[in-house]
Amino acid sequence: MKYVFTPLHILRGIIVLLLGSALVVALSNPLGEAPDEPAHFDYARFVAVNQQLPLQCAPPCQSDVPGEGHQPPLAYLVYAGLTWPLIDSGEWVPQAINPQFIWQGGSQSQALVHGTREQWPWQGTFLAWRLMRLISVAFVLTGIYFVWRTGLAISTPTVALMAVALLASSPQTSLIAGSVSNDALLFCLTAIVTAGTVQARTYRQMVLLGLAIGAALITKQSAIVLIPLICWPVWQYFTGWQRLWALLLAGLPMVVTAGWWYARNHLVYGDVFGLALFRSIYQQTPLDFGQLSTWQQAFSQLMRSAWGMYGWMSLAAPDWWLQIGATVTISAAAGLLIHAGSRRPIAPQWWLLGALWLVASLWLISFAYTVGPVAWQMRLMIIAVPAGGLLLAKGLVTGIGITPKPIQIGLAVVVAIACQLSIWWSHVLPTYHANMPAAATTAQPLATATKAIFVAPKAGGGIALLDYTLTGQLAAGQALDLQLRWLTQTRPSNNWQLFVWVINAEKKPVLQVLQPLDPQLPTSAWSPGDRLYTSHQFTIPAALPVGQYTLQIGLFDPAAKLRAHKRNYAEKLTGDSIRIPFVIPAP
Digit-coded pLDDT (tens) for 464-491: 999 999 999 999 999 999 999 999 999 9
Alpha helix segments (H runs only) across 342-450: 348-371, 385-394, 406-423
35 pLDDT tier (thresholds 50, 70, 90): very high
- Conformational region of residue 4, where left means phi above 0, alpha means psi within -120 to 50, and beta covers everything else: beta
Return d(Cα 217, Cα 364) in angstroms, integer.
Answer: 16
Residues 492, 57, 526: CA angle, nearest 5 degrees: 15
111 pLDDT tier (thresholds 50, 70, 90): very high
End-to-end Cα separation, the chain, in angstroms: 99
Give the DSSP letter of residue 573. B
Return d(Cα 338, Cα 357) in angstroms, integer.
Answer: 18
Least confident of 186-190, 369-373, 415-419: 369-373
**Which pLDDT score, from 0 to 100, does residue 294 have?**
85
Positive or negative: CA dihedral 204, 81, 194, 14: negative
Residue 4 clears pLDDT 90, i.e. is over it: no
**Which pLDDT score, from 0 to 100, does residue 1 have?**
52
Q: In Å, how far are 73, 196, 262, 408 from 35, measured between CA atoms?
A: 18, 30, 26, 34
Q: How many CB atoms lie within 10 A of CB 541?
A: 11
Residue 412 clears pLDDT 70, i.e. is over it: yes
Query: For the residues 390-409, what does the mean pLDDT come to?
Result: 94
**Residue in 550, 544, 553 with CA at minimum distance from that of residue 503:** 550
Give the DSSP letter of residue 323. H
Percent share of the chain, pLDDT over 70:
97
**Residue in 150, 165, 181 with CA at minimum distance from that of residue 31:** 181
2 pLDDT tier (thresholds 50, 70, 90): low
Percent share of the chain, pLDDT over 90:
78
**Which pLDDT score, from 0 to 100, does residue 571 have?**
86
Q: Are 199 and 153 in contact (CB under 8 A)?
A: yes
Q: Are 250 and 210 in contact (CB under 8 A)?
A: yes
For 85-102, the DSSP string reads GGS--S---PPPBPTTBG
Cα torsion 410, 412, 418, 420 to 10°: value is -110
Tell me: the pLDDT tens digits for 114-136? 999 999 999 999 999 999 999 99
Return d(Cα 384, Cα 377) in angstroms, integer.
Answer: 13
| Spatial CB neighbours of 503, under 8 Å, sequence gap ≥ 6 | 509, 510, 549, 550, 552
**Which pLDDT score, from 0 to 100, does residue 586 have?**
77
Higher-confidence residue: 281 or 569?
569
Q: Are 114 and 97 in contact (CB under 8 A)?
A: no
- According to DSSP, the β-strands at 509-516 and 497-503 are antiparallel
| Spatial CB neighbours of 475, under 8 Å, sequence gap ≥ 6 | 540, 582, 584
| Spatial CB neighbours of 372, under 8 Å, sequence gap ≥ 6 | 284, 285, 287
Alpha helix segments (H runs only) across 96-240: 124-154, 157-169, 171-177, 182-199, 203-217, 231-237
Tell me: the pLDDT tens digits for 181-230? 999 999 999 999 999 999 999 999 999 999 999 999 999 999 999 999 99
Helix axes 7-28, 124-154, angle to 10 degrees: 160
Q: How many CB atoms lie within 10 A of CB 510?
A: 16
Note the maximum CA span of the chain.
Answer: 113
Amino acid at 16: V
Query: For the residues 292-308, what does the mean pLDDT come to?
Result: 89
Tell me: the pLDDT tens digits for 219-278? 999 999 999 999 999 999 999 899 999 999 999 999 999 999 999 999 988 888 877 666
- According to DSSP, the β-strands at 479-488 and 565-567 are unpaired
Average model confidence (pLDDT) for the chain?
92
Return d(Cα 347, Cα 159) in angstroms, integer.
Answer: 14
For 249-299, the DSSP string reads HHHHHHHHHHHHHHHHHHHHHS-TTS-HHHHHHH--PPP-TTSHHHHHHHH
Amino acid at 35: P
Domain ranges of the chain: 41-90, 135-432, 439-584
Higher-confidence residue: 187 or 295?
187
**Residue in 68, 11, 69, 10 with CA at minimum distance from that of residue 37:** 68
Return d(Cα 28, Cα 429) in angstroms, integer.
Answer: 8
Return d(Cα 434, Cα 129) in angstroms, integer.
Answer: 17
Distance of CA 459 to the CA centre of its chain: 31
**Residue in 165, 169, 137 with CA at minimum distance from that of residue 7:** 165
| Spatial CB neighbours of 167, under 8 Å, sequence gap ≥ 6 | 144, 147, 173, 385, 386, 389
Q: Which CATH superfamily is domain 439-584 in?
A: Immunoglobulins (2.60.40.10)
285 pLDDT tier (thresholds 50, 70, 90): low
Return d(Cα 374, Cα 360) in angstroms, integer.
Answer: 17
Q: With 0-12 CB in 10 A as exposed, 13-18 as middle and 19+ as buried, what is 458?
A: exposed
**Which pLDDT score, from 0 to 100, does residue 278 have?**
67
Return d(Cα 276, Cα 281) in angstroms, integer.
Answer: 9
Q: Are 486 and 499 in contact (CB under 8 A)?
A: no
Q: How many CA atoms lie within 13 A of 406 on its CB side?
A: 16
Query: Per this entry, what is the length of the chain?
Result: 587
Tell me: the pLDDT tens digits for 538-568? 999 998 999 999 999 999 999 999 999 999 9
Query: For the residues 54-73, what does the mean pLDDT come to?
Result: 86
φ, ψ at 230 (rounded to 5°): -60, -35
Partnered with residue 481 across adjacent β-strands are 471, 537
Q: In Å, how far are 55, 294, 330 from 378, measured between CA atoms?
A: 28, 16, 15
587 pLDDT tier (thresholds 50, 70, 90): confident
**Residue in 24, 36, 37 with CA at minimum distance from that of residue 174:** 24
